[in-house]
Chains A and B, each alone.
Chain A
Amino acid sequence: MAEAPADRITDVGPPHYERFLPPIIKANYGKWKYHEILKPGIMVHVGESGDKLFTVRAASPRLISVDTIRVFADIAEKYCDGHLRFTSRNNVEFLLTEEANIEPLIADITKEGFPVGGTGSGLSNIVHTQGWVHCHSSATDASGIVKSVMDELFPYFQEKRLPAKTRIALACCLNMCGAVHCSDIAILGVHQRPPRIDDKNISKMCEIPTTISSCPTGAIRTADKDGMKTVEVSEDLCMFCANCYTVCPSMQLNDPDTDGISIWVGGKVSNAISEPKFSKLAIPFIPNNPPRWPEVVDAVKNIIEVYAANARKYERIGDWIERIGWPKFFKLTGIEFTRYHIDDFKHAGWTYKRSTHLKF
């Protein structure tokens, strides 16, 4: 690397947010009175001052080109004095003060291919990860599955309602970038076979002690193969987490024939009504089937539809399942209960049923 030029700028941190706030927000900052969802994707926030801020929320694929960023900028300039933001679920939100601009804005953004919706008791965007577009450890793609699931469930992004808000997340490996472990429905890429060790290169590529200590189950041991310093993995102990691969590229797990997807249900992060909780295993494995993963789409749709038909108002998926009980969840959804559903990792006993409170 070259010498640092004298005028090089570092450690400035992010720009101050006030630079980007619209005047109506500066005027009503911390003094909002209430908000209403006028229709799916359209909100109004009313200040104590009586000021009204309208928000139009549109879907985004998260992976967007600079062309699309410029389209968003154009629309924001046309209708919002240039003001917009993004949400924690990667939607784009246009911030308006003129109510009359809402419909023309909706027409423009829809024409550009970004439909409006994602508010209230329905589906919002699927929080997701990089997949085959950009990550090395993915057991599946991310964007393609998200697109396929949202295409199928699209009515729930717009007008069709569910008993409560339903949050879907996807992560393409157990690293779980994204709140997959606490989502109403989680789509998670999984490996099923232990790492394949590159005996020839591992001692050059990786620090062997670090690799050994990276394994949560202690499955990795040093080994000597034809005089090569390498490691071996005890298959009985491996749970295919890819921790070792994260620290050592010579422990490849990706495998087209055995990688695939698991489905988890009933997690949430909000404290509303019930406490936050983890997602729990519904379907241990579905093979990868690009480009549209029809089996995954069907599985998610089935869970959503059974939930919609059976849950009470304001019941999140996890609350609904806790009320009816897990045996009934498996019965209603027709999902097969297998040995894999019974926890056998550390502290597994916490999830065993230890009472006679059973329904027949």
Chain B
Amino acid sequence: MAKRDTPMLDELLKGPYPSFVKELYKVQERKPMVQDLLGQLEDSYEERIGHWKHGGIVGVMGYGGGVIGRYSDLQDKYPNVAHFHTMRVNQPAAWFYTSDILRKIADIWEKHGSGLTNMHGSTGDMVLLGTTTDELEPTFQALAKEGFDLGGSGSVLRTPSCCVGPARCEWACYDTLKLCYDFTQEYQDELHRPFFPYKFKFKFSGCPNDCVASIARSDMSIIGTWKDDIQIDQAAVAEYAKAGMDIQADVIDICPSKCMKYDGEGIEVDNHECVHCMHCINVMPKALAPGKERGATILLGAKAPIMDGALLASVLVPFIDLNDPDEVEDLHELIGNIWDFWGEHGKNRERIGELIQRVGMSTFLEAIGLEPEPEMISAPRDNPYIFFKEEEDEEEEE
């Protein structure tokens, strides 16, 4: 059909920020699919409503996820977007690419799809936006030949993601890229073949700045931290002072645990009081650094509001040394226990955080074989409704 005028979308070509409409324009001459996408989107803008139907089950053979089915509800008017499926492609850890591989991916998507992408989707995948059912398998195999695989969708392990970590950040307390890669490889089956009650996400942040929002967005959040003393380079502290930094106001007074002192000469930290918030290190990267005994805190159960309200993740393992293969092995075992319990007791579309709320943290800990620790809570219970267990008394008499 003839190209449709898009006066409303054209308004979004104006202004200094990059325009997604311009991106659609770049490919529309050679992609009828994108012409129809522009047309349908202009309809949406005029009518203030979306025109996509629910995804049916589409995918590639043997996988239960990785493809989001999408169909237009204006198929007669815009036949080229009758099918407009999305493929999620598992990104390389921390989103590093070379120009070579990007060109290869661009060529594959030029040939098999709309030529539109999201770099990247919210979970971290490279998102190839819009193709027909027939093209799914050829695209998948073309990508596989370049060493890429699909990501997760539906009730599976979703594509893990990580921060830039040791590749380019001095604050990384463990190798986020390695762990992310290893976990993704370890759990390929869980990623491609749904057998969970709902989705499960891992996110790896190298320090408490949490650049990949793991504490808010992942069922299991692995956040780097350290146990020993903050490293201080007093000469660099003096440099900051000389350069005009108000160390007292900008660092010492803002420290949330009030555990720092500055006497005009050097900085002193009462490290046992430090809550590892990163503020002082963020402000003085040349002078302060996380300690040397590094590892991570494991937190569990974050999610967006659907269904029962949003949750932040809460502490499950206060400190783990991720350089110790035994401790990593223990973590995999713990994950296995968590998935077993969830698989057995989780309701359809119940995230792990919601299950814990429903059955209670104590029951959950007992089931996965972890001892309760005070680091797991912000305060003990303030109600007296304790579910005492009878066996405990009996055991004491043995």
Contact = CB atoms under 8 A, between A and B. Distances in A.
A308 to B, nearest CB: 18
B304 A291 contact: no
Contact of B96 (A17, A34, A290): A17
B119 A62 contact: yes
A225 to B, nearest CB: 22
B1 interface: no
Contacts of B148: 12, 14-15
B226 interface: no
B177 interface: yes
Nearest to B108: A66
A288 interface: yes
A214 B307 contact: yes
A210 B348 contact: yes
A86 B125 CA distance: 11
A34 B54 contact: no
Interface string B40-76: 0100110111111111000001110000001000000
B145 A85 contact: no
Interface of chain A: mostly helix, strand, loop or mixed = loop
A84, A150, A259, A290: which has the most chain B beta carbons within 10 Å? A290
A213 B350 CA distance: 11
Interface string B160-202: 0101101111101001010001001100110110000000000
A281 interface: no
Contact of B106 (A69, A256, A313): A69
A134 B19 contact: no
A162 interface: no
Interface string A23-35: 0010001101111
Interface residues of A, number: 117
B282 A69 contact: no
B75 to A, nearest CB: 14
Interface in A1-60: 1, 4, 8-17, 19-21, 25, 29-30, 32-36, 45, 53, 55, 59-60
B383 interface: no
A81 to B, nearest CB: 9
B260 interface: no
B209 A136 contact: no
Interface stretch (B7-15, B329-337, B360-368): B7-15
A161 interface: no
B15 A151 contact: yes
B199 to A, nearest CB: 11
A326 interface: no
A86 B95 contact: yes
Contacts of A132: 41, 44-45, 49-52
B345 interface: no
Interface in A146-180: 147-148, 150-151, 154, 157, 174-180
A256 B43 CA distance: 12
Interface of A: 1, 4, 8-17, 19-21, 25, 29-30, 32-36, 45, 53, 55, 59-70, 72-74, 76-77, 82-88, 90, 92, 95, 113-115, 127, 129, 131-138, 141, 143-144, 147-148, 150-151, 154, 157, 174-182, 210, 213-214, 216, 241, 243, 246-247, 249, 254-257, 259, 267, 269-274, 276-278, 288, 290-292, 313-314, 345-347
18 contacts: A11-B192, A12-B148, A20-B92, A25-B167, A63-B117, A66-B115, A84-B97, A92-B119, A133-B41, A135-B50, A148-B12, A151-B17, A176-B306, A213-B347, A267-B216, A269-B217, A271-B276, A278-B310
